[in-house]
A and B are shown apart, each in its own frame.
Chain A
């Protein structure tokens, strides 16, 4: 029972960050219909920015975090403006290829800049874990969960309570009509990509200090983000949130009770199985974002 509780708790920490990754991707995938291969790189970018700010520049941890996220948003906007703008009318393979090219370039740039050695980022939290009855949880993980939940809530607010969010939802439902109603599709795309990338960077900035930062960390994160999107249905923030926690739980239980080596396979197996039975995702509600 205790083991189960511990697994559940661990799943909560991871789930929050998976949810962030998933929400970011579901917005990009849903609104822009782009299979975003750079999503993982933004995750790694967030982690590396924390490293640079905290370890190299001596910035305070709590200041570095929002800064790293902001940098992620900026990078996302930059990528959209430079790469994707011109591809508006292109078919899906062309866009995919450009995103793959960008992914290769980004990951290797990261490798070049920071070398392949994993980097650890120190946090201001006490090393001794918080013990609640039979379970223990590290302070920094609690912090991660709290911030993740806050950011999820913020994302939800942006999409559902702001003018920008409304424009994004309209674009998701029917791009042409939205354009006719005066929505500047180009700006919406840039905002969406920036927002989604920011969330990925946030996930990286949060998890980087918990684990370590290394150049290919983004690959697995991207894969999990896709799993979450499929679990939760395209464009659905509650779906992606729920999906993130479900995936984390499945991974934790799988690793604990089946085999830890296959931990990462859980997400993929889940994807395959779900898509076989529900080819558009588990909680997919058509034509809705938010």
Chain B
């Protein structure tokens, strides 16, 4: 029954570009989809492995920048001479994911040493450092002037330039991400992550290696976020240091926690709500600041009345 409903849902989603006339709204859906992928990846680290990581957009941005740079080619004179020729986009995207995954490994190792609220601070600091590097290392990143004219993805003769193509690409990656996370979470590795989040001494007493599973969660999470970043880079085709702004991490965190952390559907539900909500508010012609205030208040309200998130509250009502 549930499988049929999910399949129907996916089919409906896939059909959208066929009947939706509004190009702007399609754009909103694409960006929301990209954020949902990032939110799902954050859910693995925050919701399942219990790490209070508030630097998630770092992985997103690193994926975006790395992919963009490899696809454009770049030249450096400092700290050492290096020149990289432009590579095909699919390869660039893989490089982007790799770069993100590597920084995920780094964060995972730190997460083991530094705990709780201190880790929150380290994760925020990490993003800020990366952002400032992106702003100041102009030779590599063009700084605030942004990387422009990033080529779109091209595989098997299809160029993902127009919106419908990108929509299906993002949908495909989102579904793949969901499936991967589901597999991980319903397995021995997923149980190990949850165990160390819930009761670490007990987890180690049955032989679970905390460092290993923290790093695993961080690497998978970061790689997936990097993929989302790469998709973003080759869709909007401009990347600037603003991609590292704290507000985007906040958006992802909101999506995960209000949707329901530690659940599979949580980030999807949260993502749809908080991805589409700003557009709904904008349509109601309220000043942008007022929109954000509504956003903030809504967050607080959801947290008060549905402390475990929307999906668990829903499951409770049904079950």
Contacts and interface: CB of A to CB of B under 8 A. Distances in A.
**Touch A–B, Cβ below 8 Å:** yes
Interface of A: 29, 33, 35, 83, 86, 90, 92-94, 96-98, 100-109, 111-112, 219, 223, 226-227, 230, 259, 261-262, 264-265, 267-269, 271-272, 275-276, 279-281
B318 interface: no
B295 interface: yes
24 contacts: A35-B121, A90-B307, A92-B117, A94-B303, A97-B257, A97-B258, A97-B299, A98-B299, A102-B296, A104-B295, A105-B293, A105-B297, A108-B289, A108-B293, A109-B289, A223-B124, A226-B125, A230-B121, A261-B136, A271-B121, A271-B125, A276-B114, A279-B114, A279-B118
Given A112-B293, A261-B132, A276-B114, A223 B300 contact: no
Main secondary structure of the interface of A (DSSP, over half): helix
Contacts of A275: 110, 113-114, 118, 121-122
Contact of B250 (A100, A112, A223): A100
Given A35-B121, A101-B295, A275-B118, 6 more contacts: A86-B304, A100-B253, A104-B296, A108-B290, A261-B135, A276-B110
Nearest to A100: B250
The 9 closest A-B pairs by CB, nearest first: A104-B296, A105-B296, A101-B299, A268-B125, A261-B136, A108-B292, A101-B300, A265-B132, A108-B289
Given A103-B296, A108-B292, A279-B115, A92 B52 contact: yes
B200 interface: no
B128 interface: yes
Contacts of A226: 121, 124-125
Contacts of B299: 97-98, 100-101, 104
Nearest to A261: B136
A243 B122 CA distance: 17
A226 B123 CA distance: 12
Contacts of A102: 296, 300
Interface in B102-146: 110, 113-118, 120-122, 124-126, 128-129, 132-133, 135-136
A98 B129 contact: no
B113 A276 contact: yes
Given A261-B132, A262-B136, A29 B261 contact: no
A265 B125 CA distance: 8
B254 interface: yes
Contacts of A101: 295-300, 303
Contact of B136 (A105, A108, A259, A280): A259
A112 B299 CA distance: 19
Contacts of B258: 97
Nearest to B115: A279
A102 B296 CA distance: 6
A268 B129 contact: yes
B110 A96 contact: no
B246 interface: yes
B287 interface: yes
A100 B299 CA distance: 9
Contact of A264 (B132, B250, B304): B132
A103 B289 CA distance: 13
A278 B214 CA distance: 20
Contacts of B307: 90, 94
Contacts of B124: 223, 226
Contacts of A90: 307
A1 to B, nearest CB: 28
B129 A265 contact: yes
A112 B122 contact: no
Contacts of A262: 132, 136
**Highest count of chain B CB atoms <10 Å: which of A106, A227, A272:** A272
B303 A98 contact: yes
